[in-house]
Chains A and B, each alone.
Chain A
């Protein structure tokens, strides 16, 4: 690679990256972020001096409310984060002149009393709500170790306000991440899914980066043990049906994406899309969850190809292949339906994996993309994990591994008839 080619490549990469931001936005953010910090500081101090209905509070609260509304329109969510002696508003450091640093220090002190290092606003607040925030921050802090929780309790009526912990550098005691087994990653994924759903349901901005970190770990581990992905839908999860569904769709989608030969960057986008594809259910109940989900995900600002394809997948994952949905949506349609067919659901009979696969195969080319479904079958095997089979010698076996590849024998577990029946609960098995 020549140096000139390096320069060209770098130039393009930086131009691409800058799409997520722009200079005007950063400038406005710096100015208005600084003003917001001043206003919040003034609000806390005034709350100690004046009653809430005092006119002196009205102007301050109204201006803060308007400022917040403007910033939310720009950014989707406003994050004020304190690191050591500096304040950042959505990644942009608020610059203070020397004489203004005192105001910044005051606000940090106020938040620090409550063991709070960050304050996020996810939705606009009326002036009265702003006053409540001011009063809560001005109030006496609870005892150490409980202060943040206590403040959180005081602000519980304002779901759009989120408190963050204090930041400091940790120099010791960190453990480097090492390769874990799929189960551990899935457990972490389940927790994250639940947190993400709660965030989104609370009208907060999606944070795909957290999800992406888990997806990346999944991609790494599933690559080593492909059959693990195929097993996931059959597991019962303590985290609930919905969470299990998202995890199993994610693992199967990654498996299918890998079979397609997608590069890692696209795989991670696919995994994030799979993890978030049904978030609309937290809003819509039944029907219309695709649009409801897209509306939640749409709140995220900044251009990223992952976001574009995630939105497409969320909106289109129940479309038939004939309708021309995006690749991610076509992948999700297959793995989503497969999981729905084979996974245990309260009150709904599940299909044996080979039957589910055969039923889907019958809709190959109409509901399902023919090439992707063929790859899915190759990935799962003709007898996907969980398939119960009777051998010619009368024994029953259950398939444990998915893919059938040259040099790889399908893994089986042999059961006696009674053992199997007690295990799978299916009569006549």
Chain B
């Protein structure tokens, strides 16, 4: 019985470092007083259990899981190398090696031993030669059995059997319920009358043509392969649709009087399956099938069918379904396929809204990228809706919407995006700055940038300065200089240097005197300058970026008057000039 159910629908969390430990983060207790040999096996089993659990909680592609798997595999291989084989007895909460407990976890939801024992596994024998491929299969099985509300098809024993391990033997007991039952199982229970099939089932016998002696025919290997392929994973979507098509025909048969309610859950299960396996072509056919069914007359025996089919159609475009749909694009691909748009068009009454809803909750970068592309497709028809949603959004979702607006609106959206430099949300500011750095410069943009510069924190001011430097708009010179003068007392030297660089680039030779003034020596016999250090740093850096020789002379003169705190900055500015000169020559 399972507590944890797979959360693959939900964003997976990063793999915590704690999970890498083998000290029982999942409730495993370290059996006491074990010798080194048993300790090694104990550690191995704890790692195995933790890894199996981890795939349900964390993103399987996680770097840390990679390390964890590597460690587990190495540990397993080396243990089997030295042991030859490990024969583990499975008890309700324990695994024993040579009658010595080497794994103990009394938490039913997490215990590896409990799950094995519950399904009837009583011994596990791992032999030398057990390698990555078999370990993967074993972990798959263990992970699968950590999920399950409706698992009535397989248990640990059947899954282990299907896997056909070469280096793992499984000892099992009869029946699916390992726990003994008290009282006789032969006792009748309520409502289980004896039932037999009729003696004349399948009679009369099939009518066949006159017998014709069979001949011994070889079936070509490619024909055999084609038959096997019919039950392969690739054929399953088509089989699902064929089954639904068949049921649709039976639903129309008055003699069966079958209701849609009897099959609705199967439609939902198939929909979810198709959504999860990247089968867009099959999904399109699924959508088409539903629309066709929605267009059919409601039969007398099933008055609620029409509404039920429409409910199902609606659910195909709900948030959960759209999320699965967007996630169906492989992470490495990150591209919106035309098929996906076709499916969204078919299943969502309002695809733009559905995708915006999904985007608001989605954590995965790849899925968000696909969602943004889908929004770009749909927002061209209704750009106003996008802006409305943006104004109601926060954080990353708002930033994503802003990006879409920029792509959809182009030049026309530039002003709006520029205003977002002043947005209260840092994520939106970042997004806006990213776009501003890449769009053609204009006066309107400059005004927005300057406003943003005054409001932003130092990290974002740095990004704005980069844009300003590239703009070569000298109108920034005065306000930037004022900014330094006003805030020189609070500015960090790094930021002052950054501003100084832009001041130098924008001001050029004409501004040398101004920076020189900032390096005015203090009066009397005092060594140093009049202004605070930040202003000195800004001035020195500004002079470093002015090519005119006068700037170098100003720096040289200032060096003599500088105190110990300022001198390194002036030296640095001189060095910077030197470096630029060398680079120019090169």
Contact of A115 among B136, B183, B242 (CB under 8 A): B183
Q: Which residue of B lies closest to A197 (CB)?
A: B195
Q: Taking CB as reference atom, which chain B residue is nearest A263? A: B228
| Per-position binary interface string of chain A over residues 370-393, scored 1 when its CB falls under 8 Å from any chain B CB and 0 otherwise | 011111011000100000000000
In the complex, B451 has a CB within 8 A of chain A = no
Cα-based distance from A91 to B151 in the complex (angstroms): 8
Q: Are the C-beta atoms of A262 and B228 separated by less than 8 Å?
A: yes
Q: How far is the CA of A243 from the CA of B140 in the complex (A)?
A: 36
**Which of B8, B60, B192 contacts A199 (CB under 8 A)?**
B192
User: For residue B443, which residues in chain A have a CB less than 8 angstroms away from its CB?
Assistant: none
**Inter-subunit contact B6/A160 (CB<8 Å):** no
Nearest A-chain residue to B231, judged by Cβ: A266
Interface size class of B (residues with CB under 8 A): 35 or more
Shortest A402–chain B CB gap in Å is: 13
In the assembled complex, B66 has its CB within 8 A of some CB on chain A: yes
Q: Which residue of B lies closest to A188 (CB)?
A: B174
Known: A7-B61, A305-B236, A363-B208. Is A155-B191 also a contact (CB below 8 A)? yes
A7 to B219, CA, bound (A): 38
* A15–B8 CB distance below 8 A: yes
Measured CB to CB, the closest approach of chain A to B511, in angstroms, equals 56
Specify which chain A residues have a CB less than 8 angstroms from the CB of B580 in the assembled complex: none
Q: Are B153 and A302 in contact (CB under 8 A)?
A: yes
Instruction: Pick the contact of A91: B1, B209, B224 (CB < 8 A).
Output: B1
A-side binding surface: helix, strand, loop or mixed?
helix
A409 at the interface (CB under 8 A from B): no
CB contact between A340 and one of B132, B147, B154, B206 (< 8 Å): that residue:
B206
Tell yes or no: B482 within 8 A of A by CB.
Answer: no
Contact residues of A between 294 and 344, Cβ < 8 Å to B: 294-295, 298, 300-309, 311-312, 315-316, 326-328, 336-337, 340-341
Kindly list chain A residues whose C-beta atoms are within 8 Å of the C-beta of B198. 242, 281, 285-286
> Which one, B174, B242, B272, contacts A326 given CB within 8 A?
B242
A254 to chain B, nearest CB (A): 14
CB-contact partner of B213 in A281, A316, A358, under 8 A: A358
A405 to B204, CA, bound (A): 34
Task: Write the chain B residue with the least CB distance to A173.
Answer: B180
Q: What is the interface of chain B mostly: helix, strand, loop, or mixed?
A: loop
The answer to whether A372 and B132 have CB atoms under 8 Å apart is: no
Q: Assess the B7–A23 pair: CB atoms within 8 A.
A: yes
Q: Are B60 and A14 in contact (CB under 8 A)?
A: yes
B381 proximal to A (CB < 8 A):
no
Q: Which residues of A contact B182 (CB under 8 A)?
A: 115, 117, 165-166, 168
The 8 Å CB contact of B211, one of A202, A261, A312, A361, is A361
Q: In the bound complex, do residue A264 and residue B216 qualify as a contact, i.e. CB atoms below 8 Å apart?
A: no
B230 contacts across to A, CB distance below 8 A: 326-327
What is the distance, in angstroms, from B367's C-beta to the closest C-beta of chain A?
14
- Output the least CB separation between B3 and chain A (Å): 5
Residues of the B chain whose Cβ atoms lie less than 8 Å from the Cβ of A20: 147-151, 153
CB distance from B238 to the nearest CB of A (A): 10
Known: A298-B263, A308-B240. A260 touches B224 (CB 8 A): yes
Q: Which one of B108, B178, B212, B233 lies within 8 Å of A361 (CB-CB)? A: B212
- Looking at the complex, which of A96-104, A207-215, A226-234 is the stretch in contact with chain B? A207-215
A55 contacts partner chain B, Cβ-Cβ < 8 Å:
no
CA distance A138 to B406 in the complex (A): 69
| Most-contacted residue by chain A among B117, B212, B227, B269 (CB, 10 A) | B227
Which residues in B have their C-beta under 8 angstroms from that of A221?
A: none
* Contact A291:B250 (CB < 8 A) given known A263-B228, A306-B153: yes
B9 in contact (CB, < 8 A): yes
Query: Do the beta carbons of B219 and A374 come within 8 Å of each other?
Result: yes
Given contacts A22-B9, A177-B172, contact A149 B158 (CB under 8 A): no
Chain A nearest CB: distance from B388 CB in Å?
A: 29
B147 and A18 within 8 A (CB): yes
Q: How far is the CB of B76 from chain A (nearest CB, A)?
A: 12
| Residue B586 interfacial (CB < 8 Å) | no
User: When A and B form their complex, what is the total count of cross-chain residue pairs whose Cβ atoms lie within 8 Å?
Assistant: 412
Q: Does A86 count as interface, using CB distance less than 8 angstroms? A: yes
In contact, B5 and A165 (Cβ under 8 angstroms): no
Residue of A whose beta carbon sits closest to that of B131: A1
Measured between beta carbons, the chain B residues less than 8 angstroms from A21 are: 5-6, 147-151
Q: CB of B157 within 8 A of chain A?
A: yes
Residues of A within 8 A of B242 (CB): 312, 326
A238 interface residue per 8 A CB criterion: no
Among the 9-residue stretches B254-262, B354-362, B455-463, B520-528, the one with 4 or more Cβ atoms under 8 Å from chain A is: B254-262
Q: State the CA gap A154–B253 with chains docked (Å).
A: 40
Q: For the complex, is B483 an interface residue (Cβ under 8 Å from A)?
A: no
Q: Does A9 contact B (CB under 8 A)?
A: yes
Q: Which A residues are in CB contact (< 8 Å) with B233?
A: 305
Q: Which residues of A contact B215 (CB under 8 A)?
A: 361
Near A by CB (< 8 A), chain B positions 164-223 give 164, 171-183, 185, 187-206, 208-219, 223
Q: A139 an interface residue at 8 Å Cβ cutoff?
A: no
User: In the complex, are the beta carbons of A308 and B216 less than 8 A apart?
Assistant: no
Given contacts A359-B211, A372-B227, contact A11 B147 (CB under 8 A): no
Most chain B Cβ neighbours within 10 Å, of A23, A29, A266: A23
For window 59-89 of chain B, which residues contact chain A by CB distance below 8 Å?
60-62, 65-66, 69-70, 73
Given A245-B197, A312-B242, A158 and B191 touching (CB < 8 A)?
yes
List chain B residues, Cβ under 8 A from A241: 197, 199, 201
Cβ 8 A contact of B154, one of A155, A171, A212, A359: A212
Interface-central residue, B117, B195, B262, B320, by most chain A CB under 10 Å:
B195
Of the listed residues A88, A163, A165, the one surrounded by the most CB atoms of chain B closer than 10 A to its CB is A165
Chain A residues near B150 (CB, 8 Å)? 20-21, 25, 75, 90-91, 300-302
Q: Is A19 an interface residue (CB 8 A)?
A: yes
Q: Is the C-beta of A406 less than 8 angstroms from some C-beta in chain B?
A: no
Q: Is A162's CB under 8 angstroms from B190's CB?
A: yes
Q: Do residues B174 and A177 form an inter-chain contact, with CB atoms below 8 A? A: yes
Task: Write the nearest CB–CB distance from A181 to chain B, whole angstroms.
Answer: 15
Given pairs A75-B149, A305-B236, 17 additional interface contacts (CB within 8 A): A3-B73, A21-B147, A83-B108, A91-B151, A93-B109, A167-B179, A212-B153, A242-B196, A245-B202, A288-B255, A291-B253, A302-B151, A358-B211, A359-B209, A361-B211, A362-B210, A363-B209
Q: Which 3 A-B pairs have the closest CB atoms?
A: A242-B197, A302-B150, A159-B191
Q: 5 A–B contact pairs at CB < 8 A?
A: A14-B144, A19-B276, A149-B188, A167-B177, A207-B152
